[in-house]
């Protein structure tokens, strides 16, 4: 039984897998980590392995807490992964992006896959049918765009995100919503079209915390998967068992 831990900038996601089946997942604030870990340990005494992916500083305390309970694999750019990493600066590649590519290898072997993760940032990652990771793109996420308009101007208000926005805004608030919501959706659609023109039979995975707010028309080759990153971390952990 595996425990998967994804440490973000503000929160922690955990998942318990048994035989590659997701049994439970949680999302909570970092401050509650010790409390939550203790509850997971009591509920799942069969956990015998764990993996931690962190895009945040200060995870050393968490690691020291976990290692007292379970064997721990700390994901980094040197970790064995089930794909060839052709990123020019692998040491700078986000661990979340590594996990997403691993999930694509697991779920869609021998296929061209574009993974779009709509979180704090929006990341685009391409995995080829030869199981090669080429790289992708990073752009500001939904809330980052709203906060930037408010912070770097003197009069624009901080607007709450909504899933839909009219094309022509007739107030400052609706104009901001139009610019950000419609702008991101057009970015998503344009990026998918650009990748589709270069990679044959492209499969697109749309995941991340803002994927529901930024809903795009899902075609036969586009799939939504909210657990994709967690599944990727579990696959990396299983992959390393056999190394």
Distance CA 187, CA 193 (A): 10
Locate 74 and state its tokens: 């700390």
Question: 77 near 93, Cβ under 8 Å?
Answer: yes
Q: Which parts are annotated binding residues?
A: 6-13, 87, 94-97, 117, 120, 172
Which residue(s) pair with 96 in the sheet? none
- The binding site for ATP consists of 6-13, 120
Q: Is 222 exposed, middle or buried (0-12, 13-18, 19+ CB in 10 A)?
A: middle
Cα(207)–Cα(122) distance, integer angstroms: 10
- Among residues 76, 96, 125, 201, the one annotated as catalytic is 96
Binding site listing for substrate: 87, 94-97, 172
| Residues flagged as binding site for K(+) | 117
- 96 flagged as catalytic: yes
95 contacts 53 by C-beta, under 8 angstroms: yes
Contact 133, 84 (CB under 8 A): yes
Tell me which residues are annotated as active site.
96
């Amino acid at each position: 039984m595996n425990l998967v831990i994804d440490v973000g900038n503000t929160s922690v996601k955990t998942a318990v897998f048994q035989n590659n089946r997701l049994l439970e997942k949680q999302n909570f604030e970092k401050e509650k980590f010790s409390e939550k870990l203790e509850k997971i340990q009591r509920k799942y005494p069969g956990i015998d392995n764990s993996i931690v992916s962190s895009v945040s500083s200060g995870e050393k305390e968490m690691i020291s807490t976990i290692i007292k309970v379970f064997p721990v694999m700390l994901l980094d750019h040197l970790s064995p992964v089930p794909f060839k990493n052709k990123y020019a600066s692998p040491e700078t590649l986000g661990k979340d992006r590594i996990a997403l590519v691993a999930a694509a290898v697991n779920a869609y072997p021998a296929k061209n896959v574009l993974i779009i993760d709509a979180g704090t940032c929006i990341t685009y990652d391409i995995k080829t049918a030869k199981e090669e990771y080429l790289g992708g793109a990073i752009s500001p996420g939904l809330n980052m765009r709203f906060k930037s308009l408010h912070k770097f101007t003197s009069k624009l208000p901080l607007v709450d995100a909504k899933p839909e926005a009219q094309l022509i805004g007739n107030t400052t608030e609706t104009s901001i919503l139009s610019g950000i919501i419609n702008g991101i959706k057009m970015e998503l659609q344009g990026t998918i079209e650009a990748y589709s023109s270069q990679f044959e039979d492209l499969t697109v995975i749309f995941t991340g915390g803002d994927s529901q707010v930024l809903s795009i028309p899902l075609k036969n080759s586009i799939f939504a998967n909210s657990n994709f990153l967690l599944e990727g971390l579990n696959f990396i952990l299983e992959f390393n068992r056999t190394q």
